[in-house]
Amino acid sequence: MSEERMHAFLDFEAPIAELEGKIEELRRLQADDPAMDIQDDVARLEKKAAAQLEDIYAKLSPWQKTQVARHPLRPHTLDYINALIEDFVPLAGDRSFGEDKAIISGVGRFKGQSVALIGHEKGNDTESRINHNFGMARPEGYRKAARILKLAEQFNMPVITLVDTAGAYPGLGAEERGQAEAIARSTEACLEAGVPIVSVIIGEGGSGGAVAIATANRVLMLEHAIYSVISPEGCASILWRKDDKAQDAAAAMKLTAQHLQELNVIDAIIEEPMGGAHRNRETAIQDTGAAIETTLKSLSEFTPDMLRQDRRKKFLELGRLEVA
């Protein structure tokens, strides 16, 4: 286990951290004394750690899932692009104001098929997180997304969107440049596109900043991702005016993949490796790619009008109540 991973345990993973710390200590002792036999002790501790991990992740609370969704080692959009998209050509700028690095967009080949891709990028260290504005897009990011959606329709390319944002950037400059209008235009472009759109919530799906690129024919969600109209902290500050109520807010908001599938907000859940996508990034990414491939195939026979009607029907039915 890398030193980076050793320092990336979540608070509820303390028992696992302790066991894995003991394993690392034994391996360091053996490095100093190669004659030391640690095989049985390591095997016993690894078995115990695996059992602890399975037990903890079998009963995660909504707040704990929120923490997993935000894990600093969780794979982000660029990780998925590098692993799944061949010959990726990034496309930048909204042709109106400028470039927004919080949203990555471009074209490439997915499983041999030309596709357009749009996704939030949070970054993976301090410098890149600042560069990508922590995945919180400004108006030019959403106008860029709308431009790519129209380009995809022009060249008859399916669209894959990867959602991972706490929400659209709420800064003064963003509001001055029309943040709400840009989000609406991006959502409209999704609804009007005559090509298949498959969206995957890979981490956080926050508010209109997520919906702007997740208004898709099919919305998939990783097992420990979250998707909500506001962050738990934001909800707590509004309803209780207390930061320490975030856990209660998370439980009340029904923001987990399991809750959202029951509510028909999402179409399918992609299982994550035991312990979350951050523990086995390659497997998580490949499983996500397989789910996207299957979903795109299911939409391949739809005409442009069928795709638009399918999307319209899907979102009009959200929240509909059946009265006896």
Give me the residue label for tokens 């002792």.
Answer: 29
Decide: 141 and 171 in contact? Cβ < 8 Å: no
Q: What is the pLDDT of residue 270?
A: 97
Q: What is the pLDDT of residue 46?
A: 82
Examine the pLDDT at 152 and tell me if it is beyond 90: yes
Residues 88 and 235 in one domain: yes
Residues 126 and 39 in one domain: no
Give the angle subtended at the CA of 104 by the CAs of 101 and 109, to the nearest 5°: 155
pLDDT: which is higher, 324 or 35: 35
Examine the pLDDT at 238 and tell me if it is beyond 50: yes
Residues 39 and 143 in one domain: no
314/165 Cα distance (integer angstroms):
23
Residues 25 and 136 in one domain: no
Over range 70-90, report the average pLDDT.
96
Q: pLDDT tier at 29 (50, 70, 90 boundaries)?
A: confident
Mean pLDDT score of the chain: 91
The string of DSSP codes covering 88-126 is EEE----SSS---TTEEEEEEEETTEEEEEEEE---SSH
Count Cβ neighbours within 10 Å for each residue of 77-88 and write b for 16 or more, e otherwise.
bbbbbeebbeeb
Examine the pLDDT at 324 and tell me if it is beyond 70: no
145/152 Cα distance (integer angstroms):
10
pLDDT: which is higher, 22 or 283: 283
Residue 321 lies in a domain: no
H or E, element range at 164 = strand 159-165
- Domain C-terminal end among 14, 42, 59: 59
265/214 Cα distance (integer angstroms):
11
How far from the centroid of its chain's Cα atoms is residue 131's Cα? 19
Q: pLDDT tier at 9 (50, 70, 90 boundaries)?
A: confident
Residues 88 and 156 in one domain: yes
Structural domain for 30, as ranges: 3-59
Over range 169-194, report the average pLDDT.
95
CATH number of the domain to which 271 belongs: 3.90.226.10
The string of DSSP codes covering 172-238 is HHHHHTTHHHHHHHHHHHHHH-SS-EEEEEEEEEEHHHHHHHH--SEEEEETT-EEESS-HHHHHHH
Residues 20 and 88 in one domain: no
Residue 322 lies in a domain: no
Residue 166 lies in a domain: yes
Residues 54 and 170 in one domain: no
Over range 174-188, report the average pLDDT.
95
Decide: 251 and 212 in contact? Cβ < 8 Å: no
Q: What is the pLDDT of residue 5?
A: 44
Q: What is the pLDDT of residue 102?
A: 96
The DSSP secondary-structure symbol of 297 reads H
Residues 146 and 13 in one domain: no
Examine the pLDDT at 249 and tell me if it is beyond 70: yes
Over range 89-108, report the average pLDDT.
95
Q: What is the pLDDT of residue 21?
A: 85
Beta bridge partners of 106: 90, 117
Q: pLDDT tier at 323 (50, 70, 90 boundaries)?
A: low
Residues 304 and 276 in one domain: yes
Q: What is the pLDDT of residue 7?
A: 52
Examine the pLDDT at 1 and tell me if it is beyond 80: no
204/207 Cα distance (integer angstroms):
10
- Domain C-terminal end among 59, 77, 95: 59
Residue 324 lies in a domain: no
Phi then psi for residue 200, to 5 deg, are -125, 125
- Domain C-terminal end among 19, 35, 59: 59
Give the angle subtended at the CA of 293 by the CAs of 291 and 297, to the nearest 5°: 120
177: exposed, middle or buried (C-beta count within 10 Å: 0-12, 13-18, 19+)?
A: middle
Residues 41 and 73 in one domain: no
Residues 87 and 217 in one domain: yes
How many domains does the chain divide into? 2
The percent of residues above 90 in pLDDT, for the chain, comes to 77
Q: Cα Rg for the chain, rounded, in angstroms?
A: 21
Q: What is the pLDDT of residue 48?
A: 87
pLDDT digits (tens, 9 = 90+) for 292-311: 999 999 999 999 999 999 99
pLDDT digits (tens, 9 = 90+) for 227-237: 999 999 999 99
Q: What is the pLDDT of residue 306?
A: 97
Over range 43-69, report the average pLDDT.
91
Over range 187-192, report the average pLDDT.
96
Residues 100 and 44 in one domain: no
Q: Residue 242: what residue type? A: K
Over range 189-216, report the average pLDDT.
96
